[in-house]
Structure 1
């Protein structure tokens, strides 16, 4: 399976949402359609504890959801990385209490579709630094935050990327997907070339 990080972010690259620039329940129909297309290609949703709890506290209770996100999250195969969580209290959820990098390496060796990480900033940064990310998906919103954590870890020497997909949506959101430059489309980094809801540090 491939490891994919998908994040909502500002024009200055911030993915930690400290201002109100993103409303998950208020998206234009074309953007919702793109999210559904990507969800259809997922086998596993991999999350850090804080992002998992944010999603669990919001989506299952949205009886008025018209995006389809609530239903998709309920049926998704969710894996949450946490050293303290014991009972996830959400169907189809498995807690990864051990080494998350080892768990991700095992997932990458399995056949299947995408393992998607969203939000989960500490986890996402850890996977980037460990060269375990095959694709980077960025939904850039027309907002400037000026503070907060970014898509790539601070001080990280980001590699050259090649855009493999993209679209501009009516309300100003720009979607772009990237893989490492120099790879054939669909190849992974092989652990060498490279080392949603924004959230706090995961445990």
Structure 2
């Protein structure tokens, strides 16, 4: 069965974005093997706001070939958008009710794993419904002091078991956890 993987950058003080939505602090090192992660998934889960910002994003014409290829790989994935606002979109399937049942059906499909991209409210919903199989949290060596926290208003305590740690040349430390059952 497919796994749902939350792969997310977070600051040292626990924020997933700055107070104005900024993510300019995120580091992408070549030793992070993000392309390898992308090749391990065939589906991306978005919240509506995140999808509207990034679901169809196109890099500038003068962007590097690496950035062009990265976005081409992202856009080749199946996309599901979880939103109370149903709409037609040729690039994504919108899910507007019974998230747990919809996710269970998607996980049963053949194929690779699923990237839970976010945003924050979708991540919180998935945590509350115990739908995340793997937490890949990349801690970046910066503290913002304020912003949108990763774990906010949790319904219950979240117990995780560390599976692996990766340290990158930039100082980013990736922590890979699974929920304790």
TM-score of the pair, normalised by structure 2 = 0.84
Contact 1:62/1:70 (CA < 8 Å) preserved in 2? no
How many residues get paired?
176
Contact 1:14/1:148 (CA < 8 Å) preserved in 2? yes
In structure 2, the residue matched to 1:38 is: 37
TM-score of the pair, normalised by structure 1 = 0.76
1:156 Cα deviation after fit? 4.2
In structure 2, the residue matched to 1:160 is: 159
Instruction: Tell me the distance in 1 between the aligned counterparts of 2:141 and 2:97.
Output: 38
In structure 2, the residue matched to 1:22 is: 24
1:136 Cα deviation after fit? 0.4
Contact 1:49/1:85 (CA < 8 Å) preserved in 2? no
Q: Does 1:60 align with 2:61?
A: no
Instruction: Tell me the distance in 1 between the aligned counterparts of 2:113 and 2:100.
Output: 16
Superposed counterparts of 1:27-176, under 5 Å: 27-31=28-32, 34-56=33-55, 59-63=57-61, 64-65=63-64, 66-67=66-67, 68-88=69-89, 91=91, 93-176=92-175
Structure 1 residue ranges (4+ consecutive) displaced by more than 4 angstroms after TM superposition = none
Greater fraction strand: 2
Q: What is the Cα-based RMSD across aligned positions, in Å?
A: 2.3
Contact 1:41/1:114 (CA < 8 Å) preserved in 2? yes
Matched residue of 1:60: which SS?
Answer: coil
Matched residue of 1:172: which SS?
Answer: coil
Contact 2:128/2:156 (CA < 8 Å) preserved in 1? no
Instruction: Tell me the distance in 2 between the aligned counterparts of 1:148 and 1:154.
Output: 15
In structure 2, the residue matched to 1:6 is: 7
Deviation digits for residues 115-174 of structure 1 (CA, Å, limit 9, x no counterpart)? 111231111110101111111010111111232332223244433322222211111211
1:46 Cα deviation after fit? 0.5
